[in-house]
Structure 1
Amino acid sequence: MPSRRVFIVEDSPVIRSNLIDTLEELAPVTVVGWAERKSEAVQWLRGHEQEWDLLVIDIFLKEGSGLGVLEACKERAPERKAVVFSNYATVDLRQKCIELGADAVFDKSNEIDQLIAYCGSTESTANGSTAHS
């Protein structure tokens, strides 16, 4: 299976490093870049529209919000997926993320296995977005 190209939007260096290591070890992914701020993420995404397959976004960033990143990539090609990976995956936040175009929402504290499974899924519409509502 070809490797999915993943871009990560996460401001915690420890979490970001662990996430990159975990995803690259356990899922067929290659992390192509990362950003700590909304502005950095949006700028990278606009300049590299064809160079990613999956976007993994935290909600709270050093500057701006992951919600703004979701909104900025809402008109992406259908094969490009965006998921939220947050400690604050409440029912309301999950719904807001889905409204803004997230394909799935995962809780950092207890849904890492589901995120890994999603990354390895060949289904373009994995159930993460509705299974956790």
Structure 2
Amino acid sequence: MSGLRTYLVEDSALIRRNLIETLEELVRVDLVGTAEDGPTAVDWLRNPAHVFDLAIIDIFLKRGSGIDVLQAARSSCKNGKVVILTNFAAPEIRKRCLALGADQVFDKSNEIDQLLRYCERLASEVSGGPSQPAGGGEQCG
């Protein structure tokens, strides 16, 4: 069985490294890629060969915006789950991200445990089911 194919978009090298270590230790993940800026992430998501079960996206990046990455993830015709992990999870930010197609929004400062539980549930769904992205079977037309 493989792990939760995870793509991480985070501009802080320290946060990125710590999050990867935590996910690999506590959740069965296969890191399929990382980006620290919006344009790199958007290019990765638009590549039809790249598949993910989960994309974790920060909103504020070195270049570009996590909002642009979220929109690219949703328009890429891929079925993976997309979550926002940000220090700025104010109600209006959460509402906007959810309206743009985020599956969940988590605050970096006090909701890491909720993110990990979400990842654990998603990983168990992926490992228990057929070999397809966790988001289901919808296709672009």
TM-score with structure 1 length normalisation?
0.86
Query: Quick one: distance in 2 between partners of 1:43 and 1:77?
Result: 14
Q: Which amino acid aligns with 1:74?
A: R
Q: Shift of the alpha carbon at 1:99? A: 0.8
Partner of 1:120: 120
Q: Which amino acid aligns with 1:8?
A: L
Matches within 5 A, 1:1-133: 2-48=2-48, 50-77=50-77, 79-122=79-122
Secondary structure, counterpart of 1:82 in structure 2: strand
Q: Shift of the alpha carbon at 1:50? A: 4.6
Q: Shift of the alpha carbon at 1:49? A: 5.1
Query: Quick one: distance in 1 between partners of 2:57 and 2:84?
Result: 5
Q: Shift of the alpha carbon at 1:47? A: 1.3
**Which structure is larger by alpha-carbon Rg, 1 or 2?**
2
Q: Which amino acid aligns with 2:119?
A: C
The structure-2 alpha-carbon separation of the partners of 1:77 and 1:118, relative to structure 1 and needing over 3 Å to count, comes to farther
Query: Quick one: distance in 2 between partners of 1:48 and 1:3?
Result: 20
RMSD over aligned CA atoms reads 1.8
Gaps of 5+ in 1: 126-133
Secondary structure, counterpart of 2:75 in structure 1: coil
Q: Deviations over 1:87-109 (max 9, x none)?
A: 00000000000011100000000
The structure-2 alpha-carbon separation of the partners of 1:27 and 1:83, relative to structure 1 and needing over 3 Å to count, comes to same
Q: Shift of the alpha carbon at 1:51? A: 2.1
Q: Shift of the alpha carbon at 1:79? A: 3.7
Query: Quick one: distance in 1 between partners of 2:48 and 2:11?
Result: 20
Q: Which amino acid aligns with 2:38?
A: K
The structure-2 alpha-carbon separation of the partners of 1:90 and 1:64, relative to structure 1 and needing over 3 Å to count, comes to same
Q: Shift of the alpha carbon at 1:57? A: 0.3
Name the % identity. Answer: 51
The structure-2 alpha-carbon separation of the partners of 1:51 and 1:76, relative to structure 1 and needing over 3 Å to count, comes to same
